[in-house]
Homo-oligomer: A and B are copies of this chain.
Amino acid sequence: MSSPTHGARARARIEVTAAIKDEARRQLAAEGAAKLSLRAVARELGMVSSALYRYFPSRDDLLTALIIDAYDSLGETVEQAHAAAADAGPVRRWSAVCEAARAWALGHPHEYALIYGSPVPGYAAPQTTVPAASRIGLVLTAILREAHQGPGLVTPPLPAELRAEADRMTADLAPDLPPETVTALVAAWAQLFGLIGFELFGQFNRVVEDREPFFRQAVAQLARGVGLVDPQHGDAGKG
C-alpha cells in the first residue's frame, strides 16, 4: 500500500484470484459444484494444481468465495429489480423482486444450488456469507416497511405459542414492523425459495409446464400472505 511495486504484486494477485473464480464459475455452470475440480481449474488456467493453493487454501475456501459471490449476484439483481419498480405499488414491487429472484435462479442454476441447495456435509458456511445472504431479505423487508407506513398491512393474528418467538424475530429483523408481519415475511421468504427450488430441481417436471404464470400467481398469493393489499390490481396506487 505504501509503494507502487507492492501495488503491482497485489494487483496481479487480485487478477489471478479473479481468473480462478471465473474459471471455477465456468466449471460450476458446466458440471456443478460436486464436480468442481481444482486440477481442472488449474489446467484450464495453464498453471499447476499446487499453485492454486497460494490463492485458496482449500477447495472449500474456493467454494466459500463462490458462495459469497453468488449471494451478492442475487442480491444485486433483486435490489436492481426493486429500484426499477420504485414507482409501483408494494404488491408490484414484491412481485418484481420475487420474479427477479426466480429469473436469476433460472439463469444461474448451479450457483443457486450452491447457496440454496443441500449443504456439503462437514462444510459450514462461514459467518462471512451472512451479509451477502441477507440482501434479498432486506429488500423484502423494505417493501413491507413502506407498505406498513403507507396503505397498511393486513395480517392474521398470532397464536399464543408463537408470541415470544415472533417478538424475538421482530426485534432482530425489523423492530418497526408488527410481529405478525415479520412472522409472515419469514415464512414467505422460505416459501418463495420453495417455489424456485422445486422448479429448478425438477420437482415440477411433468407437473407444472407453463411455469411463468404459475409462479406469478403463487407470488401474488404470497404477497397476500404477508398482508400486502392490492389497490386496483397492483397499479401504482402510491404516487
Q: Considering only CB atoms, which chain B residue lies closest to A219 in the complex? A: B187
Chain A, interface residues (CB within 8 Å), range: 35 or more
Contact of A187 among B33, B113, B156, B214 (CB under 8 A): B214
List 20 other contacts, CB 8 Å, given A31-B121, A194-B195: A33-B121, A35-B121, A113-B119, A116-B197, A116-B201, A125-B202, A130-B206, A161-B213, A161-B216, A162-B216, A164-B210, A165-B209, A165-B213, A168-B210, A169-B208, A186-B204, A189-B198, A193-B194, A193-B203, A221-B225
Q: Which residues of B contact A40 (CB under 8 A)?
A: none
Q: Which residues of B contact A169 (CB under 8 A)?
A: 207-208
Contact B156 A221 (CB under 8 A): yes
Docked CA distance A192–B198 (Å):
11
State the oligomeric state as a number of copies.
Answer: 2
Please give the distance in Å from A170's CB to the nearest CB on chain B: 12
Closest 8 CB pairs of A and B: A194-B194, A117-B118, A32-B121, A191-B191, A113-B118, A165-B210, A190-B198, A187-B218
Asked whether any CB of chain B lies closer than 8 Å to the CB of A239, the reply is no
Most buried by B among A125, A158, A208: A208
Asked whether any CB of chain B lies closer than 8 Å to the CB of A120, the reply is yes
